[in-house]
Structure 1
Amino acid sequence: MKMKITILEDSVIESERLKNGIRKYGQQYDWDIEIDEYESGEEYFSKNSEGTTIQASAFFLDIQMGQMNGIEVAKRLRESGYQGIIVFLTAFREYVFRGYEVRALNYLLKPVKENTLFLCLDEIAKELSNNTYIYRNKQEIVSIPYADILTFSSRLHYVDILTVDGKCYEQMSTLNKIIVHLPSEFIRTHRSYIVNMAHIYRITSGTIELSNHLTTQIARSYSKDVISAFTKYTTRFDTSGDFE
């Protein structure tokens, strides 16, 4: 399989560490990985004219670099229509939640460790593979990428599947039947809702705000489990271990 990764990192040491780890992953799992690298957002945008299709499978963005920081680069990529994967590189944990402003997959804490990077690349590979929910009704069968699903919500004998492009698919089923077949990033937040944690932007008292600014309620009986699961999800790449 093929993967194209673009790295924006102003530290030569960190960039080399990341490239070596990505290449090792590609050799180990037989991925054909192409790597582009830039020292800043300014360099990237000067060499890649806006309006053209962005071919990168994933961006690894250093948050603190040059005049244009990683958050600003990510926002500009999204404004240009890029819907792919963004991962932030940072030495500061407090930046993690800012990633949800631009639908970042997650963050990697610098110096990036090999096992942490491999977990991240596993998830990118999963995103790029045929990882989809199969929606069926009497008229059609549609393959919906899990990454594009915001919520499943129940309505009488039906479940509505809401996607990032605003589409809603109505399926005769129940949340209890559906959730057992979903990936771990989906969590029950209410007896009537399942939410994709990859699209959670903010959690406040009893409320979840998603990347499309939709808000849903967290039932009191689910609150503890939701907060625990979301905390684990946002720090799932933060593990110990070093490059060999």
Structure 2
Amino acid sequence: MHNMEGTGRILRIAYCEDETAQAEYVSDMIKNWGERRNAACDVDLYGSAEEFLFEMDEAELFAYDLILLDISMQGMNGFSLAERIRSTDKKVRLAFITADADFVFRGYEVEAFRYIMKPVTQGKLDELLNSVSAQGGMAMAEYVILEVSGQSRKIDKSDILYVEVDGHYTTIHCESGEFTVKDSFKDVLAMLNAGDNTRGADGNTDSADKTGSNVNIFYRCHRSAAVNIDKVTRIGRELCRLKGGQELAVSRGMYEELNRAFIRHNMKH
């Protein structure tokens, strides 16, 4: 198990609660947990389900490690909000904070990570956050958060086919669509590999985990593009083919390492 204690990573939490005093009380306890664990925490408070959805602006994936939901809110309740979230994001952790035990038995419908019954205590919250933190290393490696059209967007790495230079910007080509960001190609490539025992941002320098196995995901196929090695179906000296049939050029200098990475990856699967 990996945890986030002392790693410099930030645990991002959203809490949707219509009682201001309760929201601030829980937020303070989360920060208290972070101080004791030497773990940085960002807590965003939302006063209603409608406010949360408005701020997310129809996001399909949610840029949080944990979303805490009060069930009994005015307007849309927490369970209905959980159903909305699950309709597009199957992975983000959801936890309910509630005084109504009747909803506990419906948790399987939205794959709730945990329930906390009110009144919330530091001990109950610590147990939840310790569990999230223990899984944090794995979860953080699954997505990257980038600014798209002025808003933070959580992009699932497993959805990405390839990234390429687009003038002064970088375009991320996903199975679900395309996103252009202002970050440089070099910086985007570094962020995409940041959860995977990263290689140097300047190129395809092999790196290995403690077992000696290479764990990188994104490799340059030529100077201006990098592919998700999991999406590559065939590699030639001039072209590589991706799932869906799209082909990208392979430069002479990148071929050997890209081919080695492709072979290693498929031997592990």
TM score, norm. by length of structure 2: 0.47
Q: Kindly indicate whether structure 1 or structure 2 has the higher relative contact order, using CA contacts under 8 Å at least 6 residues apart.
A: 1
The number of aligned residues is 131
Is 1:16 the counterpart of 2:24 in the alignment? yes
Equivalent in the alignment of 1:25 = 33
Indicate which of 75, 86, 89 corresponds to 1:67: 75
Give the Cα separation in 1 of the matches to 2:103 and 2:61: 28
Residue number in structure 2 paired with 1:100 = 108
Q: From 13, 30, 54, give the equivalent of 1:5.
A: 13
Given candidates 73, 95, 99, the residue that maps to 1:91 is: 99
The aligned amino acid for 2:123 is N
Partner of residue 38, structure 1: 46
SS of the aligned residue for 2:135 comes to: helix
d(CA) in 1 for partners of 2:90, 2:64 = 9
The AA in structure 2 aligned to 1:54 is: F
Which residue, out of 74, 77, 88, partners 2:85?
Answer: 77
Structure 1 residues 12, 51: closer, same or farther in 2, change over 3 A? closer
Other-structure match for 1:54: 62
Q: In structure 2, what residue type is equivalent to 1:32?
A: A
Could you tell me which amino acid in structure 2 is paired with residue 108 of structure 1?
A: I
CA distance in 2, matches of 1:53, 1:94: 28
The answer for unaligned runs of 5 or more in structure 1 is 132-244
Deviation at 1:30, TM superposition (A): 1.1
Shift of the 81–114 alpha-carbon distance from structure 1 to 2, 3 Å rule, reads same
Report percent identity of matched pairs.
30
Q: Which residue of 2 aligns with 1:223?
A: none
Q: What secondary structure does 1:17 align onto?
A: helix
Output the TM-score relative to the length of structure 1.
Answer: 0.51
In structure 2, the residue corresponding to 1:45 is in which secondary structure? Answer: helix
Letter in 2 for 1:10: D
State which structure, 1 or 2, has the greater radius of gyration over its C-alpha atoms.
2
Match of 1:116 among 106, 111, 124: 124
Instruction: Mark the runs of 5 or more structure 2 residues left unpaired by the alignment.
Output: 1-8, 140-269
Q: CA RMSD in A?
A: 1.5
**Residues 30-69 of structure 1: CA distance to partner in whole angstroms, max 9, x if unpaired?**
1111111101111111121114531011000000102111
